[in-house]
Amino acid sequence: MRTVVVYTWARDPGAATVRGDGSVEWRNQKLVAGEDDHAAVAVARQVAEADGGDLVGVTVGGGDASWALARGVPAAVQVADAAVVGDGTDQARTAAVLAAAVRAQGADVVVIGDAEEHAGVPAALAGHLGAPVLLGVSAATVSGGRVQVTRTVDGTEQTLEVAAPVVLAVAAAGPEEKAPGMKELLAARKRPVTSVPLADLDVPTTADVVATGTRLPDAGDARIFTGDPADTAAALVAALRAEGVL
Amino acid sequence: MSREAWALVAAPRQVAATVRTARTVADRVTVLAVGPREVADAASAAGPDRVLWAETADGRPAEALTVPVADAVAAAAPDLLLAAGDPAARALLGAAAARRGAALVSGMLALRADGDALSIDRTALDGEVVATVTVAGPVAVLVDGDDEPADAATPAPVEPLTGQVAPADLVLTATRAAEGGSGLYDAARVVSIGRGVKAKDDLALVEQLTAALDAELACSMPVADDLGWVPKDRYVGRSGQKIAPRLYLALGIAGMPQHMEGIRDAKVVAAVNTDPDAPVFRAADYGIVGDLYEVVPALVAALGS
């Protein structure tokens, strides 16, 4: 089985500054690893090790392809064009580009981070590949040629079994515990990165999504009580009783 | 123009909000319900024009039916697709959007018709801004909605989804209560503490309030992770527990986006904080600006009266 892990496919929210008028300034358009990407790499390695098959990283845009190589992925493919996914708002477009790149690798198991800000990308990626998808995954392995997947939904831990091909979207349980050290970073430089031009991929078009502006969220319509603690506490308890939540 | 919307649902939660959103711009609303009968019934009660029902069987989750659902959507070619953010509904929407050749936008807050196009407000940058986009062709949206009760509507007829409904080779083999949570997940009322609580011994004060409210105790990440005052399975947020209590009472919690993500589905959020500009008040329904060391005993007294 071939496992493909998709990483570094969205802009860095840390590069955005929100001004007082609600407009957003992007210091750069660079694509960086998302906060779930490290967990996606870990799950992809679990799958590849359990199966004994190979593992390839796929990344798009001008991001750092060696990011996954420093985390134990032996080789990567990069769709080179920097503006490949636009501003990322049309998640079907992002997914179509990723799907074209993944398809060219002939993947059996595709692993991607289940990023909150881009919640539609993993499912649309699976849609473009015509494969089933499991979202919110925490762990996966392979046994008897089938993929065993663990995830938690609504306070229940589910174990699922699925035949390849399948897309697994992994939600990180927290930040990466140990970033790669100098040794891993140097080793990553020696691992191969193959560059693929966007024009070589068959990417279907979707309807144009035109950004027309940003604003600050509406101020909440919270009822705020101020003043003497006894009065404010009594007012809150009365309000909560009226809501029927006590 | 006449606009047709399809809502894809896999759980009773958020069906009403999704149908209501669709109604704001669409002339005809179809709900495609995937799952057991209760999902189809909830969809019918939300009052769309019709419900198509694909029943799941043999321990298969809704995700096993993404391909037949996408086929049905592609055949009907609706202008607008909607789904809530639960994993199964997201899976259905992604598959359908790809087959339909639709754009896909997440975090939708509001929809407006803009001539033949649709104008979409979406939450972006962890909720720091609302971004508006316009889409002139078919579009799929993930609705960032609350779990609201259905309007009193005429129940829609439920028809079985016909055609090729062959499920994928995908089965649920086991379920168990997730580790941690310790009753937090099912709690109707939750009192949650943040860095505004100054010492571990002060938990005794908070426990008087949890007792008076018959509530479970939760906390923000630093209280469990850095301080270790509360077990780690009780912290709420993006990487912790995601809960939907009827009442979430935040004490001394600033309300950073990572935390608030864990209580997106709470019915009523109340907050106590000394800082009137704390972000938590923007997401709250009720707030008290004050010192929790004064307010908590006053709340205990008010609840007892």
| B90, B176, B290 member nearest A123 (Cβ) | B90
**A225: chain B residues, CB-CB within 8 Å:** 286-289
pLDDT band with cut points at 50, 70 and 90 for residue B182: low
Whole-number pLDDT of residue B146: 66
**Nearest-CA distance B67 → chain A (Å):** 7
**Strand partners for B5:** B29, B80
CA distance B235 to B216: 12
- Cβ contact B129–A24 (<8 Å): yes
Q: Which residue has the tokens 């064009």?
A: A81
Taking the CA atoms of chain A, what radius of gyration do you get in angstroms?
Answer: 22
Q: Which residues pair with B176 in a beta bridge?
A: A157
Q: pLDDT tens digits, chain A, 246 residues: what are they? A: 999 999 999 998 889 999 989 999 999 888 999 999 999 999 999 999 999 999 999 999 888 999 999 999 999 999 987 677 778 899 999 999 999 999 999 999 999 999 988 999 999 999 999 999 999 999 999 998 899 999 988 778 899 999 999 999 999 887 888 899 999 999 999 999 999 998 888 888 777 899 999 998 876 678 999 999 999 999 999 999 998 999
Mapping DSSP to helix (H, G, I), strand (E, B) and coil, where does residue B19 land? helix
CB contact under 8 A, B128 and A18: yes
Mutate to test the interface with B, among A129, A240, A243 (most CBs of B within 10 A): A240
Tell me which of B149-158, B259-268, B269-278 is least confident: B149-158
CB B190, CB B216: distance < 8 Å: yes
- Between positions 15 and 34 of B, the ones with CB within 8 A of A are none
Q: Other C-beta atoms within 10 Å of A199: how many?
A: 8
For B131, which of A92, A162, A214 is closest by C-beta distance?
A214
Continuous segment of H or E residues that includes residue A17 = strand A16-18
Q: Tell me how far CA of residue A58 lies from CA of A96, A104, A150, A169, in angstroms.
A: 13, 10, 23, 14
Nearest CA-CA distance, residue A141 and chain B, Å: 14
Which residues numbered 106-165 in B keep a CB inside 8 Å of some CB on A? 106-107, 119, 122-140, 142
Contact between chains at A132 and B63 (C-beta distance less than 8 A): yes
Q: Which H/E stretch holds residue B283? A: helix B280-283
Which of these ranges, A175-184, B144-153, B240-249, has the smallest mean pLDDT?
A: B144-153
Single pTM value for the model: 0.86
Closest approach of chain A CAs to the CA of B157, in angstroms? Answer: 29
Q: Do B288 and A209 touch (CB under 8 A)?
A: no
Probe site for chain B from A98, A134, A209, A226 (most B CB atoms < 10 A): A209
The predicted-structure confidence for B54-78, as pLDDT tens digits, reads as follows 998 777 899 999 999 999 999 999 9
Residues of B in Cβ contact (< 8 Å) with A214? 124, 129-132
Distance set, CA A16 to CA A189, A225, B102, B131, B261 (Å): 29, 34, 27, 13, 20
Q: Closest Cα to residue B256, out of B230, B223, B210, B215?
A: B223
- Bond prior to B12 in cis (omega within 30° of 0): no
Taking contacts as CB-CB distances below 8 angstroms, the residues of chain A near B127 are 217
* Local structure of A203: helix, strand or coil: coil
Per DSSP, the three-state class of B278 is coil
Q: Which two tokens stand for residue B242?
A: 């995601």
- Cβ–Cβ below 8 Å for A92 and B63: no
A13-31: string of b/e by CB count within 10 Å (b at 16+)?
beebebeeeeebeeeebeb
- Give A221: exposed, middle or buried? Use CB within 10 Å, 0-12, 13-18, 19+: exposed
**pLDDT score at B126:** 79
Distance from CA of B176 to the nearest CA of A (A): 5
Chain B partners of A218 at a C-beta cutoff of 8 Å? 130
Do B175 and A117 make contact, defined as CB atoms within 8 angstroms?
no
Give residue A220's pLDDT: 66
Helix (H, G, I), strand (E, B), or coil: what is residue B71? helix
Q: What residues are paired with B34 via a beta bridge? A: B54
Is there a cis peptide before residue A165, judged by omega within 30 degrees of 0? yes
CA distances to A9, A90, B179 from A85, in Å: 8, 8, 38
The answer to whether B289 and B274 have CB atoms below 8 angstroms apart is yes
